[in-house]
Structure 1
Amino acid sequence: MVRKIVILFICLFVFWVFLEVNNAWIQTTRYTIKSKKIPKGFDGLKIVQISDLQDATFGKKQEKLMNKIKKAEPDLVVITGDLVDSNRYDLANSRDLIEKLVAYTDVFFVLGNHEAAINQVDEITETLSSLGVHVLRNQAIQLKRDHQVISILGVDDPLMAGEQQPEKAMGQMVQEALSSVPQGSYTILLSHRPELMAVYVENEVDLVFSGHAHGGQIRLPGLGGLIAPGQGWFPRYTSGEHQEGKTTMIISRGLGNSLFPYRIFNRPEIIAVTLKTI
């Protein structure tokens, strides 16, 4: 009897460790994106993406997460929404990370569905802007190096458009952001929603950073994500690199959780992308 109890406790302990590792052990996933459209001045540009922090904490004042980001040596950081969680809104927790990021490099941010779901969008965007974050709301910013330009675009989450269909709303927002982009410029779009890939392809965006799907929350080895908002069971767009037409989309599995508290076979992730001219 005692032996069975000991074995049970060992099994429970191992399972607890497994859950903790899946929630706290940050993984860096690296990609190299090659294109003739990337100007030589931007050859080797390093971009780190973080997504879906959902008010999660990684070390005291986010030091563990910040150290992981620094190891990737980014030239800029992009945040693709859900910095906060609408179920436990705590902007101060996210601010700890933002203050460290803006002191280190340029930071770009777009809204996710959790920012859109709470009545605090102005507070969030004004706070981030006051700290030095480039908050992109259906607009574009041109980055210049050696007299050459690439464009970083950012769009709101479709929830900001109210009852309008997500595809229609996203199409309008992407076109609004593209309206100020110089002809022929290499375009990098920050958009929270990966399931709207068809819209990005239709508008011939070069590179998209997205999140939202949490990697499918529970990942089945060899099969991928189990379920994702807006896609249902066994979703197509949960992580990794996707190529359709002229568009490449990188999907982050994200860092935090919302309604379901654990990530299974699905470690928190930051993305590190290097641009290469060919």
Structure 2
Amino acid sequence: MRPLLTAAGSVGLAGLGVGAAAHIWARHVEIHRYTLRELTLRILPPGTRTIRVLHISDIHLVPDQERKIAFLEYLGALNPHLVIDTGDNIASAAAIPVLAEALDPLLRRPGAFVMGSNDMFEPAPKNPARYLLPDPRPDGMTAPRDFTLPTEELARRLTAHGWKDLTNSRAVIELGGLEVRLAGVDDPHLERDEMPAPADPAPSDPAHGHVLRLGVAHAPYRRVLDALTADGSDLLLAGHTHGGQLRLPGFGALVTNCDLPRQQARGLSTWQDVPLHVSAGMGASPYSNYRLFTPPEATLLTLRAREASTGS
């Protein structure tokens, strides 16, 4: 009798089985495996007290995502000294009040934010193969168009208790003897980024001797990272990539959805010797709501003082 399956056929069926299992895991399991990552950096001036910075990004919230909302509420109990939100908070207008309620404890902490494209425009179905192109943006994506989401209402909710809006602008936050100077840009993915005008010269008052400079953007395009680095940032913070959203063992992120190298699609790396943290974010578009080997996350960055140089 002839075998029912050739060796090649058996391999093909096995591959289909693996693919189906990966899809089920990515779509129904990993997308809900919310993770708090913790990292430590020694970048503060000598003698500065330790601070904890919570970096959140790419929430892509819709109102019925109960597990995501519970994770946001859990983050509020961390009581960080500073919160940085690098955009793509919502996926529908109805999510704005739900987001504000879930973030309420964090919104009452010192914080700052930039917007992403999904804070401005309703998500739409896309061909996932497009992300394998050198520039995955659909034609006309960066052209001027009417906002389809109430971005101003979102900004009002985020600034209600004092968070700073870093849309092509600068801000200063005082943290008990540490002056945090922030520079941010509008979404580079939409080519709305414009570096804000240079800051005024630093005051000579010794009370302002402890300074931390943060550069903040939604999408970590190289031109923006270069500009923020040239601006003197001590730490760069971005999101947008979803950590690649799909990663393969031994290969990493398939894409970054920008011109950032794949190896820097998530986590801590450096850009021109400046620490760069790219958050893999907490969600995804409702039309591509899956993740593989890159669970949704927020990151608590503990910033400590550098060791003082002893000289000779």
| Cα drift, residue 211 of structure 1 | 0.3
Q: Whole-Å Cα distance in 2 between the matches of residues 247 and 151 of structure 1?
A: 16
Tell me the CA shift for residue 260 of structure 1. Answer: 1.3
Q: Pairwise CA RMSD of aligned residues?
A: 3.1
Per-residue CA distance 1:64-90 (angstroms, 9 max, x = gap): 3321453x441121110000126x763
Query: Which AA in structure 2 matches 1:55?
Result: L
Which residues of structure 2 form unaligned runs of 5+? 1-18, 122-146, 204-208, 307-312
Partner of 1:128: 158
Name the SS of the counterpart of 1:40 in structure 2.
coil
User: Structure 2 vs 1, CA of residues 265 and 108 (structure 1 numbering), >3 Å: closer, same or farther?
Assistant: same
Q: How many pairs are equivalent?
A: 254
Tell me which of 61, 68, 73 is aligned to 1:66.
Answer: 73
User: Rg bigger for which structure?
Assistant: 2
Report matched runs for 1:14-163 at 5 Å.
16=24, 19-35=27-43, 38=45, 40-41=47-48, 43-56=49-62, 59=66, 62-70=69-77, 72-85=78-91, 90-103=95-108, 105-117=109-121, 118-119=147-148, 120-158=150-188
For each residue in 1:144-202, what CA deviation from the matched residue of structure 2 results, as whole angstroms up to 9, or x when unmatched?
A: 34544231233211366xxxxx4xx64x42x42x4247378420122111123333333
Contact 1:116 1:157 in 2 (8 A): no
CA distance in 2, matches of 1:254, 1:157: 16
The structure carrying a bigger helix percent of its residues is 1
* Equivalent residues of 2:81, 2:175 under 8 A apart: no
Cα offset for 1:55?
Answer: 1.0
Q: Is the 8 A contact 2:254 2:262 kept in 1?
A: yes
TM-score by length of 2: 0.70
Partner SS for 2:170 = strand
Q: What SS does the corresponding residue of 1:140 show, helix, strand or coil?
A: strand
Instruction: Please list every run of 5 or more consecutive structure 1 residues that lacks an aligned counterpart in the other structure.
Output: 1-10, 161-165
Secondary structure at the residue paired with 1:194?
coil
Contact 1:136 1:153 in 2 (8 A): yes
3-state secondary structure, aligned to 1:199:
helix
Aligned residue for 2:249?
A: 221
Letter in 1 for 2:159: S
Cα 1:15–1:224, aligned 2, differ >3 Å: closer, same or farther? closer
SS at match of 1:227: coil
Q: Distance in 2 between matches of 1:201 and 1:155?
A: 13
Q: TM-score, normalised by structure 1?
A: 0.77
